[in-house]
Amino acid sequence: MTESGEEMYALVERLYPLCRSITGDGVRATLRIVDEYIPLHVHEVPTGTQVLDWTVPQEWNIRDAYIADGAGRRVVDFAASSLHVLGYSVPVSATMPLAELRPHLHTLPDHPSWVPYRTSYYQPEWGFCLAQETLDAMPDGEYEVRIDSTLADGHLTYAEHVVPGQVPDEVIVSCHTCHPSLANDNLAGIAVAVFLARELAERTPYHTYRFVFAPGTIGAITWLARNRERVNGASPARAEPRARGMVRHGLVLACAGDPGQLTYKRSRRGDAEIDQVMRHVLTASGRPHRVTEFTPYGYDERQYCSPGFDLGVGSLTRTPYAGYPEYHTSADDLDFVSPDAMADTLAVCREAFAVLDRNRRYVNLSPYGEPQLGRRGLYDALGGRSDTKQAQMAMLWVLSLSDGEHSLLDVAERSGLPFDTVADAAGALHGAGLLKA
């Protein structure tokens, strides 16, 4: 168990009790805690704001909710778990028989001890989520039902953290902040993003890294609507796709702490640079993993990859969206995630961005025949390396494929040499005046 794994798990523990949704004070409380680890720029977008084809909804907040039996005993209690209330429930205060209450109760008969996570964001509704075994133990009779919530004009809240790079070209790292007490989906992704940002800030990366903490779907859509020029160079009044903006690459992080193997989902393009980098890093690491094709269903990669933006954004999870029984249930708890799994996800992100930052295309300035490397001291510069022969071969491969079309990652994959060895060789050749970027 690594130190960073323990620290990420501690952050998940702090965030776990908070009741998050697509808007409201739970999101703000979450971002205040994240801000203790990395400084955030928090944005508040008013209800009614048009964001692409959507409108920012009313803000939802909840103080208390319960179902009490005839003796006043709370058989379902929001204070015990934020999952017990249907997300975005309108307020209710009534007494009714169990038969009238049943249509508002959500359970998982196949997992009678688990509580489901359910929402009703865009349709006024109220309800409770509870274990099937709790419902089975409720006798017929009158029940007091109370949901002390508000649904009113307010704001949608999201936040950004930027790690400046050597160039303004950006890599976006996005994770959703809208789920209540679900440890893997979404808290593990938030924790990995936070610690990845901290690690990147310890050096000066080549790219600028922009971390986006936003509620799922509506949050990513809001961010895209407010960042049209940054994303694709188009003003909000224009609709031409794929104009050149600042965002070059991206990764959506979710389900980052479960025991499953790592899964990378390609961007819609399928051949974006981040797709090549992630496939290479996962394969070279020897980790059990899967690489899957893009589908327009899942997390916010589907927003970033929508045809008008067409960003090179993939998604990294362990077990994918809806791919484990505990998904969107109370069983996605603190016991379901581990420090080791989060540390492993963080390590893959670290390795991938190290490759992304060093990946370049070069042009050979001495392309007519093989240049004399010995008289330039290039072979001597490799002296003492344990992989001297590999490094020499890497120089020859880089010279051979540096035609402005092949990247260093292309060289590594075609030659079968380690990427770092290829990148080091390119650096030496560039320093000797044999390559230009």
Phi-psi group of 213: left, alpha or beta (phi > 0 → left; psi -120 to 50 → alpha; rest → beta): beta
Q: Which of 43, 50, 44, 58 is nearest to 236 (CA)?
A: 50
User: Beta 403-407 vs 128-129: how paired, if at all?
Assistant: unpaired
Per the annotation, where are the binding residues? Answer: 179, 185, 328
In the structure encoding, which two tokens stand for residue 159, read together?
């936040």
User: Beta 247-253 vs 170-176: how paired, if at all?
Assistant: parallel
Polymer length in residues for the chain: 437
Per the annotation, where are the binding residues for Zn(2+)? Answer: 179, 185, 328
Q: Which of 251, 249, 247, 212 is nearest to 233 (CA)?
A: 247
3-state helix/strand/coil string of the chain: CCHHHHHHHHHHHHHCCCCCCCCCHHHHHHHHHHHCCCCCEEEEEECCCEECCEECCCEEEEEEEEEECCCCCEEEECCCCHHHECECCCCEEEEEEHHHHHHHEECCCCCCCCCECCECCCCCCCCEECCHHHHHCCCCCEEEEEEEEEEECCEEEEEEEEECCCCCCEEEEEEECCCCCCHHHHHHHHHHHHHHHHHHHCCCCCCEEEEEEECCCHHHHHHHHCCHHHHHCCCCCCCCCCCCCCEEEEEEECCCCCCCCEEEECCCCCCCHHHHHHHHHHHHHCCCEEEECCCCCCCCHHHHCCCCCCCCEEEEECCCCCCCCCCCECCCCCCCCCHHHHHHHHHHHHHHHHHHHHCCEEEECCCCCCCCCHHHCHHHHCCCCCCHHHHHHHHHHHHHHCEEEEEHHHHHHHHCCCHHHHHHHHHHHHHCCCEEC
Please report where in the chains the tokens 């990859």 appear, as a residue.
305
